[in-house]
Structure 1
Amino acid sequence: MNEPARSTSRAERRRGTEERILGAARDLFARHGYERATIRAVAAAAGVDPALVMQYFGSKAALFARAAEVRVPEGGAGLGEGPDGAVTALLASLGVKLDGLPATSLATLRSMLTHPDAAEHARTTLGRQIDEIAAGLPATPDARARAALAVTTVVGATIGHQLLGLPDLRDTAVEHLTDLLRPALHALLEPAEPPKGEDLS
């Protein structure tokens, strides 16, 4: 009758070890980027043998993919609810990021321009946001381009604030930054009204 308890205990220990490795990986990828964060360094930070890291994850690329997973879609509810909903969701997402970017997102941002695996992860994550926003916009030929510009505007602000530490962004209250961005995002996501009297047929 004790066997199930031992099995559960082994499973819990395995999950605990896996989470410890992932925590160390997130921290090292976020601080050093993909290239400089080695399996040996991750193992040392997690207090395990490097062979165990490989046993659990198979490769450094697979470890990065797991470490950089975003469990809650960035932007949250509202991305597909038209221009107003998308702007509100993007600005809420930006506020969370500027208050302290999660190590998962920071790891991806720091590495996405230098390593193909990180770049692909970023494209997939941002692509989902663009798909959702574009689906909620008026059906214009440039709806996807508008959505992509809005998403990358928020990414650029995040990079400037979190990775580059630009003083003009760091020294400005998050609430004021979002207020400044709001009309720019609305301008991107709301198609311009055609001049009165212009025949578009």
Structure 2
Amino acid sequence: MTDLPEPAPTRAERRLATRARILDSARALFAERGFERTTVRAVAAAARVDPALVMQHFGTKRDLFAEAVRTAGPPPGGSDPEALVDQLLTSLDIKLGGLPDGTLATLRSMLTDPDAADHARRAMGGQIDSLAAALPAAEDAELRAALVVTAMVGITIGHQLLALPALREAPADRIAAVLRPAFKSLTQEAT
């Protein structure tokens, strides 16, 4: 038996691979530099393509950014308050371990770019809605969910972007132990 050479990738496969390479490069640069300081030329150079090809695939820098930061996370679920707190703390532990470049790009850019702020607002709004739906029925479930989500975002920013020593040096399980009572209080029905 003779080994047959693998067929060359089709044009469609090459196009998809190029698009993925551009997106990977864009995510990394937007995460490192933010929206304002990332150029289409820099993305093209990192992806080893012509800048015109970036524009052909994505249209504008803003469209490229929107595609690069698009993520979908699993919504919190379950009605057991202890399980919900465990799930939130596990999610935070994952975030402290590192974030996808698209998420870092959004966090870096949301205070200086209105579209990045809108993207972050929509993403956090979805997380708040999902968490509020999982909380015991209460008048202020949305407020409590917003407090939990924004606390997690703040902790993530302090750890990942600002590298605050108190957060960077603390083990994730210690951070979880300190946060558990606060998250438990916010996710249980007020008495």
Q: TM over 0.5, yes or no?
A: yes
Moved more, 159-168 or 94-103: 94-103
SS in 1 for 2:163: coil
Q: Distance in 2 between matches of 1:23 and 1:48?
A: 13
* Structure 2: segments with no counterpart, 5+ residues: 1-6
**Is the contact between residue 130 and residue 151 of structure 1 (CA under 8 Å) also seen in structure 2?**
yes
C-alpha displacement at 1:80, in angstroms? 3.0
CA deviations on 1:3-51 (whole Å, 9 max, x unpaired) are xx77x61111001100110011001100000100011111111111111
Q: Distance in 2 between matches of 1:118 and 1:157?
A: 19
Q: Distance in 1 between matches of 2:110 and 2:82?
A: 29
Q: Distance in 1 between matches of 2:70 and 2:135?
A: 27
Match of 1:118 among 109, 113, 116: 116
* Structure 1: segments with no counterpart, 5+ residues: 194-201
Corresponding position of 2:177: 179
Q: Distance in 1 between matches of 2:85 and 2:27?
A: 29
SS in 2 for 1:36: coil
Q: 1:137 aligned to 2:138?
A: no
**Is the contact between residue 106 and residue 119 of structure 2 (CA under 8 Å) also seen in structure 1?**
yes
CA RMSD of aligned residues (A): 1.5
SS in 2 for 1:48: coil
TM-score (norm 2): 0.91
Q: Percent of pairs identical after alignment?
A: 57
CA deviations on 1:40-82 (whole Å, 9 max, x unpaired) are 11111111111111110011111111111114x1xx36x1323
**Is the contact between residue 134 and residue 147 of structure 1 (CA under 8 Å) also seen in structure 2?**
yes
Corresponding position of 2:26: 25
Q: Distance in 2 between matches of 1:96 and 1:39?
A: 31
Q: Distance in 1 between matches of 2:132 and 2:30?
A: 31
C-alpha displacement at 1:181, in angstroms? 0.9
TM-score (norm 1): 0.86
**Structure 1 ranges of 4+ moved more than 4 A:** none
Corresponding position of 2:60: 59
